[in-house]
Amino acid sequence: MKNKVWFITGASKGFGFEIAKAALAIGDRVVATVRKNAGELEAELKGGDRILVVTLDVTNEKLVRAGVQSAIERFGRIDVLVNNAGYGLLAATEEASDEEVRKQYDTNVFGLLNVTRSVLPQMRRQSSGHIINMSSMFGYLNNTPGFGLYGSTKYAVEGICEGLAAELKSTGIKVTAAAPGLFSTEFASSESYQRSSVILDFYEPTVGVIRDRMGQVHGHQPGDPSKLAVVIMKLAASENPPLHLPIGTDSVKSYRRKISVMNKEVEEWESISTSTDH
């Protein structure tokens, strides 16, 4: 298929915006979702009749289904789903309230599932499609104080992708968990991530250090978001895409370090771990 139809959530800025822009640049059609200011994004992307901007909140399944239906009515199909909508929560596990954690999961995990469930019937009718779920290097190595809960949502994304890929193996629908490292997006800006309302002095030497560093990190991340978008274009064009794709030097290092640490632990405990059979 020469030209694809993309459905991209969280497209107002960052990765979602860059991916939408890159897809339009190669002649594809794009459905971009935002929570507000749809007209502004449509004007900025300048896609003409190849762009449809839909206002929805991924945590509202009714709105998601309506948005997907609008995409199908406009373009007739959905070839690539990019589940990009999400945000970070900076908090020690003890500091975060039930409400704050549930909100994090509602967007990063259950919102992703809402969109996936809504798009899959169309992809099944087509017997084709590619679901690209944006994970994170924190979904490999979750050892940054204060981002443990955020990282846990990305572990969930990785697991969802693995299960989904197995379920869709014979359908022609592909699944990839794309895990970026640190890129120069708004993720590290104080307007994009959220902090817990409770801050405990006990965690000042760990989480407190990360809180202080966030302002220094913003604007100095190693990754270029426009280059990530190029990677996503190549991924969507691949006949045999990977299930797990770390993106960025730091993400690749995190993946390899996690594998190395796990291998070492398993080897050290193997004789004990395997002593449980009848």
**Residues classed as catalytic:** 135, 150, 154
- The token pair at 31 is 């459905």
- The token pair at 22 is 């890159």
Gap between the Cα atoms of 98 and 149, Å rounded:
12
Gap between the Cα atoms of 181 and 246, Å rounded:
8
Torsion over CA: 256, 216, 156, 145 (sign): positive
Gap between the Cα atoms of 65 and 130, Å rounded:
18
Q: Name the nearest CA neighbour of 185 among 12, 31, 9.
A: 12
Gap between the Cα atoms of 146 and 233, Å rounded:
32
Torsion over CA: 120, 240, 77, 45 (sign): positive
Per-residue burial over 18-36, b = 16 or more CB atoms within 10 Å of its CB, e = otherwise: bbbbbbbeeebbbbbbbee
Cα–chain center distance at 64: 17
Q: Name the nearest CA neighbour of 31 among 5, 63, 3, 65.
A: 5
